[in-house]
Structure 1
Amino acid sequence: MIQTEALQIIQAVAHFGSFATAARHLHKVPSAISYTVRKVEEQLDVQLFFRDSRKVKLTPAGEHFVAGAEKVLNQLHKLADSTCQVATGVESEIYIVVDNIVNQGGIHSMVAAFKEKFPDVTLYITPEVYIGCWDALYHDRCQLAIGAPITIPEEIECNNRFEWRTMGHLEWHLVMSPDHPLAADLETPLTTDDLADSTTIVVLDTSRVLHHGGDSLANYGKKMIVPDFRQALACAKQGIGVTMAPTHFTNHFMKEGKLVTRSIPLTYNQECLIAWNREHIGAGLQWCLDWLGSEQTLTDLWLTYREGNAAVDIS
């Protein structure tokens, strides 16, 4: 039987294209890596790698093996976690993604309360943007998504593994520095043609596989891509360009006079959701869903301008 460690070693060699680099990555000597790969090849009676003096490359059989090995390792990880959950009723780890569109400070009180209740559960909190939330949920990179867009991919909508509920309504502002040329006449609505000579600052959709959705502003002007609203708003404040952001972020800077807004007929995500994988819900994930609460509670914490909280909410 092929051991788990051998699968990991072959994965590393395939990734780096080098026995020596894989050995350094795995803190082993190159001879141990070569020996393990050779033993698996002998066991299967197939060649997994083409070898030359500079690098190694997967054979077609090797490509098939590595793809299968990744699935096996993922399944073993899930099996270990689900077995612990069956035994204790509590997950050993929970993966949560938080979309950049919500107040980022909202996660702090949730995590503090969670760790008090479940001190032995490992939490993984990672960022996603727009369809990236659905992509992470669909591909099992998380069990819970906070701030997923109302635009639900078909792959999610027709799959009974997933549930969701609304966090509330979103409003948006097109914002710019008071010194930006488009800020000269704030009372007159802009048209999309007015953006032609401006830099439009767009937040990147992080979806890896599912189709991208996202920022309508990306269709106009001289596009500039940034990773999050913090960067988008910082660039707008410096007069680099214009950006579209939710009002619970823009209000922080409009109140200080660092940004101004001008209306424009662009359609944006009017609602966001919390979404979760309903399979094998343990006590930890159920606690999170209960803590997150009703639509009004979600709106108040995650989608509302909070005086003096720009440093924690916009990140």
Structure 2
Amino acid sequence: GFPGRFTPQHTARLLQVLREHFPTCQIAITTEVYNGVWDSLINNQADIAIGAPDTLLDGGGIDYIEIGMIRWLFAISPAHPLAFIPEPISESQLRLYPNIMVEDTANTINKKVGWLLHGQESILVPDFNTKLQCQILGEGIGFLPDYMVREAMEKSLLVTRQIHNPRQDSRMLLATRHSASGQVTQWIKREFSLQGILTGIYQDLMHRA
């Protein structure tokens, strides 16, 4: 299971590396969001999750190691009304505009809600790429991973603004089913070490402590 904030390019590179090292292994990659990652592990729908969110679940026979942090930036269209008011932007001002939210894919455990103010309208979308495009079009507001925002800012598609109570960094985990102890799992764990191959693939997405 892979959370939706990872890009198709990174997933394709992961697949390429796995096939190079394990040419006879049958690989199936799915995308899950927030607690949907844990849901897929608990219900035996996935053996390994890269980028599981830091909402640790008791039991379930799941092992995990920290692989990095996602940093969030509040980003809006340059034409959005909030782009023209003083910073930090107050919650009363933010509440006037819908929050573009990626929907948690969990089915059997509680869904996680990202950043949302009390009384604020939310628009649910299936993944972070859709959320990005909606915010570029000015259809709503919200936090995005910093790597997405940087790319959009280089093209003058988004601007960042300071708000009261910004979203904190999110710890990302490599989670594996305890019963999945084969060569592939062990290799993936090893290659997320500091100088590992997989750390290199994802280094532009996640910050290391």
Residues 207, 231 of structure 1: alpha-carbon distance in 2 compared, 3 angstrom cutoff: same
* Structure 1 position 287, deviation (Å): 2.4
1:5-24: CA deviations, max 9, x gaps?
xxxxxxxxxxxxxxxxxxxx
In the aligned structure 1, how far is the partner of 2:72 from the partner of 2:24?
40
In the aligned structure 1, how far is the partner of 2:185 from the partner of 2:156?
41
* Structure 1 position 278, deviation (Å): 1.8
In the aligned structure 2, how far is the partner of 1:98 from the partner of 1:218?
27
Aligned residue for 1:124, secondary structure, equals coil
Residues 231, 271 of structure 1: alpha-carbon distance in 2 compared, 3 angstrom cutoff: same
1:125 aligns with 2:125: no
Residues 132, 280 of structure 1: alpha-carbon distance in 2 compared, 3 angstrom cutoff: closer
The one-letter amino acid of 1:129's match is: V
* Structure 1 position 199, deviation (Å): 1.6
In the aligned structure 2, how far is the partner of 1:295 from the partner of 1:270?
22
* Structure 1 position 300, deviation (Å): 5.2
Provide runs of 4+ in structure 1 moved above 4 Å.
295-300
1:206 aligns with 2:110: no
**Structure showing greater Rg:** 1
1:184-231: CA deviations, max 9, x gaps?
03x511222212221210110111111122312264522110011111
Q: How does 1:14-29 map to 2 (within 5 A)?
A: none
The equivalent position to 2:125 in structure 1, one of 226, 247, 259, is 226
* Structure 1 position 280, deviation (Å): 4.4
In the aligned structure 2, how far is the partner of 1:118 from the partner of 1:218?
46
Could you say which residue in structure 2 is the equivalent of 1:262? 161
The equivalent position to 2:116 in structure 1, one of 217, 227, 236, is 217
Paired residues of 1:110 and 1:291 also in contact (CA < 8 A) = no
The equivalent position to 1:116 in structure 2, one of 8, 20, 27, is 20
* Structure 1 position 290, deviation (Å): 2.5
In the aligned structure 2, how far is the partner of 1:303 from the partner of 1:215?
24
Normalized per residue, which structure has more helix? 1
Paired residue total: 205
Residues 176, 217 of structure 1: alpha-carbon distance in 2 compared, 3 angstrom cutoff: same
Could you say which residue in structure 1 is the equivalent of 2:59? 158
Aligned residue for 2:29, secondary structure, equals strand
Could you say which residue in structure 1 is the equivalent of 2:83? 183
In the aligned structure 1, how far is the partner of 2:112 from the partner of 2:195?
24
Could you say which residue in structure 1 is the equivalent of 2:171? 271
In the aligned structure 2, how far is the partner of 1:98 from the partner of 1:272?
11
Could you say which residue in structure 2 is the equivalent of 1:143? 47
Aligned residue for 1:134, secondary structure, equals helix
Residues 303, 134 of structure 1: alpha-carbon distance in 2 compared, 3 angstrom cutoff: farther
Could you say which residue in structure 2 is the equivalent of 1:99? 3
Paired residues of 1:163 and 1:275 also in contact (CA < 8 A) = yes
* Structure 1 position 120, deviation (Å): 2.3
Paired residues of 1:203 and 1:227 also in contact (CA < 8 A) = yes
The one-letter amino acid of 2:23's match is: P
Structure number with higher relative contact order (C-alpha < 8 Å, ≥ 6 residues apart): 2
In the aligned structure 2, how far is the partner of 1:297 from the partner of 1:118?
14
Aligned residue for 2:138, secondary structure, equals coil
Please give the TM-score of this superposition, normalised by the length of structure 2.
0.87
The one-letter amino acid of 2:124's match is: I
Provide structure 2 residue ranges, at least 5 long, that are not aligned to the other structure: none
